[in-house]
Every structure is written in C-alpha cells, then in structure tokens.
Amino acid sequence: MTEHGSATTPTPPENGSRPSARSAGLLMGRPFGIPVYVTPSWIVIAVIITVLYQPVVDRTLALGGLSYAVAFVFAVLLYASVLVHELAHSVVARMYGLPVRRITLYMLGGVSEIEREAPTARQEFWVAFSGPLLSLVLAGLGYVAYGLVDPFTIVGVLLWQLWVANLLVGLFNLLPGLPLDGGRLVRAAVWQATRRPTAGTVVAAWGGRLLAAVVVSLPFLFAWWQQTTPSVFAVLWGVLLGAFIWMGAGSALRTARLRERIPRLRARLLARRPVAVAADTPLAEARRRMQEADAGAILVVDAAGTPTSIVDEDAAAAVPDTRLPWVPVASVARAITSASVIGADLDGEELLGELRRHPVPDYLLVEEDGSVHGVLRVRDVEAAFRR
C-alpha cells in the first residue's frame, strides 16, 4: 500500500497515522535529492513475503534451499517498485514547486511526505495519479519482458510476480477513498467541481471509511462464497489494512474540520496584551503588574522601551514560589529575533504559513508603524483550532 501526504503545522497531516522517519528508520539514499528511509517494520513484512512466496518458487523451479533467496529477492524488488511509485509522487510534486520532506518505506508500503498541499485541484490530481500510473506502466513493461523469457527460470518467475504485484499496487491505490491515491483523485474531482477543497476531503474520507469496511469484510465474503472458513492470516491482514484505511480517513476528516476554521484565525484577535517590565524585574513583581493590568503576557524591554524578550510561560511556572521574588524575568525569557516578529494583521493561511516558516513558541505582533500590538502564543493558535 502506498500513499502520499502533506505535512503542515499546526494542522495535522491529512493522511493519518504513519511512521516517522525522524524517530525510526535507516537512511538508504537520496534519489533526486529526496531522503529515503526504511523502517524496521519492513524487515517483518520482507520475512513474511519470503516465507509465503518460497513454496511458489520451489514448486516452479525446484531449487530447494535456494528458493528462499529467490523469494527474498522478490520481496526486495517489490519494495523497489513501491519506492519507484513514491518517487513518482515526489518528483511530480517537486515539479509543481511543492517541497518533499522524505519518503519512508514501512510494513504496509510507502509514504511520500510532501510539506504542503497542492494549491489547485489539477496539481492535486497529477501528484496523486502519478504513482498508480507509473505502477501500471511498470506492470505493462514487466508483462512484456515476461513474454520474452523462459517462464520456468528464476528471471521468469520474478518477472511474473513483479508485473502482477505492480498491477495490484496500481489498481489498489486507485480505489476511491483516502488515504489511498484514488481518494486523492476523488478529492481533486470534488474540489474542481465545488471549488472547495474541504468538500473534496470529506467526500474522499467517507469513501475511505466505506472502503475500510469492505476490506475487513472481504475474507468473510470470499469464505461464504466458497462455503469455507476464512483463514486466520486473511482475517488479520484484512483487519490490518482496514484499520489503516479507517484511521487515515478519520484523520482526513478531522483535518477537514480544522481547515474550515482556518479563515477565522486572526492574529490580532488571538493576541495577548502584554505588560512591559525591565530585565531585572523580579518575577513576582512582574506577575503582580500583569495581574493589575489584566494582561496576558510579560514583555521584557530595555532602557529605551524596546522589546528584547518575552517571558516563557513554562519556564516561569517552573520557578518555585519561594524563589519568585529573587528570580529576574530575564532569566526565564526568550529573546525576540527577526523571525519571532510578525504583523498583527496576519490571518488564515497567511498566518499559519508564517508560523510554519519560523516555528517558535511566542511571537511579537507589531502594527505597520512598528508599534507593539501584543504577544501571540502558538498554544493559543492551537487552542483556537480545537474550539
């Protein structure tokens, strides 16, 4: 299974739970400059594929113990096909100017982490369609190559399995539900028709939930059709895939609801009014002045009244009460830099874009004339999403 997703902050990614290459995985290389990671879970599925495929190889070629090596080679080539699928997503995304953070190969397939969404439905369509399209092209090439070799050779057996695997990967990913590529195509189509990307996400996510239910029920439906009992492996695999799709679709729905709130985000309305104090002011005195002024933040200023730092709430809260009269505010404040000064009129996507470009806990909001409007805390922006 493959997917591609956009990673944004503070909005969660639309494609649901997936492994983080930042916390787990081995860097395998940088094709086209894109980091490719393989997580330890890949070893698990590679062993499973090897064990399941070995009897097929042995029946066809009668290689004995060597059949395990051939089966393992197939597992590696299968994931190489998944990597090519993901590279198609990533390369097309880059062609449209969308930054790609990494590609991760894990137990259920692969994921391309694209840092922001495509700005148009057309670009969304082509980024999503490129992966399945290349998988189907590989399937066609594999089928042609298979016809040119002896089917009862190692090369023949591997080519047969590879073209079938790429065909299944391509077709499966075209199923119309998030987090699969087909869900992205549905999203692009609805987006184009309604001019509302959120509407496309909702439709595609519910398609994903319906698809998850079908995937879980398939082993039982096949068993009923054949008048047999479903195998434990088939049931477990169906539940695993179904749960993955369901969680991805659910995450997309939650993200869609959050995105509906983005236009209502206004830095000016979320700002806290600060109280200005000198750097050597005791924390106890600064808190007293903040309460008297009914302010929401403490701003440290120099002798000329120019803001130099913002008191960190968490650092200040960690100071014991008995130490408050002796701890100067400067010791629990974070310096103001050019990256932490933003305009008070920012709102919606423009505000989130600024927070993503320069991620810090607190920002100083200034008016066009340079005067201070207030302090914006990222936790207040995140809380606004949840309201």
Q: List binding-site positions.
A: 85, 89, 181
SS3 of residue 3 by DSSP: strand
Of residues 41, 42, 53, the one with CA closest to residue 160: 53
Establish whether 115 is a catalytic residue: no
CA gap 185, 336 in Å, rounded: 44
Of residues 54, 137, 55, 129, the one with CA closest to residue 96: 129
Residue type, 186: V
CA gap 333, 320 in Å, rounded: 16
Contact between 166 and 174 under an 8 Å Cβ cutoff? The reply is no
Q: C-alpha angle 269/265/201, rounded to 5°?
A: 165
Before 179, cis peptide (omega within 30)? Answer: yes
**Of 86, 113, 117, 124, which one is the catalytic site residue?**
86
Distance separating the N- and C-terminal Cα atoms of the chain: 35
Q: C-alpha angle 212/218/224, rounded to 5°?
A: 150
Contact between 225 and 352 under an 8 Å Cβ cutoff? The reply is no
194: tokens are 């309604």
327: tokens are 């701890």
Taking the CB of residue 69, how many other CB atoms lie within 10 A of it? 14
Binding-site entries for Zn(2+): 85, 89, 181
CA gap 84, 134 in Å, rounded: 8
Catalytic site positions: 86
